[in-house]
Amino acid sequence: MEPISAEHSKGLSPEQSKRNEEIPQTLDRSKHHLHVVFGVDDLSTIEEVRLRDLVGKCLEEYTQSGDAEVGEETPADEQRVRTMAHFEDSHKEAVMRWLWELYGITPAAIPVFDLVRDKTTHEDIVVTRTTFESPVALTDTNPSRKLQDIRAERANRLLAKEKELRALGHDVEGEDTVVPEDFKEYLGRLREKSHMP
């Protein structure tokens, strides 16, 4: 006979119990993502509670979407693409929803640059200007293109630029995808205003 866990004795299913165990880890990953990508370090109580709720909701949805492999699209993913965003990781999805629900910022409004770092000239060369918008919406005229194809095209552009720079004798540090500083400042001002009495 299996021992009854404290969670199970509270009436939680094993899936709910597992999800509750994942929430703190995923919340930490979401906070790290906010810090690294958007420069958000100090969450207010309201912001943190909302992020935690969204992490739980995203974990539940990702569990319901089944055991699809990363990058593989499922019917649940297709619905998510139409409604908000599409990320392989629930912690990134939670951050995007947090930005939308608290500050009205959609993925389409967040600029993103794919960069190649040239160590010879000490420059960051922008290869692609895009947004965090659902990649399906970023397709030119073919909405049937797959998410992994779009990501592969962006990666190929970065590799091609790296090869081009190396052929010119430049030392290339690597590539990165970044949100510009002016957007981070804008988000900071929005957060400041929202917490004013």
Tens-digit pLDDT profile for residues 115-166: 888 888 888 888 877 777 644 444 445 555 566 677 788 788 888 888 999 8
Estimate to the nearest angstrom the gap between the alpha carbon of 51 and the chain centroid: 13
3 confidence band (pLDDT: 50, 70, 90): very low
Asked if the model's pLDDT at residue 61 lies above 60, the reply is yes
pLDDT for residue 153? 81
pLDDT for residue 146? 64
* Whether the Cβ atoms of residue 134 and residue 81 lie closer than 8 Å to each other: yes
pLDDT for residue 159? 87
* Whether the Cβ atoms of residue 12 and residue 20 lie closer than 8 Å to each other: yes
Asked if the model's pLDDT at residue 71 lies above 60, the reply is no
192 confidence band (pLDDT: 50, 70, 90): very high
pLDDT (tens digit per residue) in 162-191: 899 989 999 887 777 789 999 999 999 999
29 confidence band (pLDDT: 50, 70, 90): very high
Out of 11-15, 102-106, 137-141, 148-152, the most confident range is 102-106
pLDDT for residue 45? 93
List Cα–Cα distances, 113 to 45, 85, 127, 162, 180, in angstroms: 31, 18, 7, 15, 7
pLDDT for residue 97? 92
**Residue 9 CB neighbour total at 10 angstroms:** 8
Average pLDDT of the segment spanning 17-25:
79
* Whether the Cβ atoms of residue 72 and residue 80 lie closer than 8 Å to each other: no
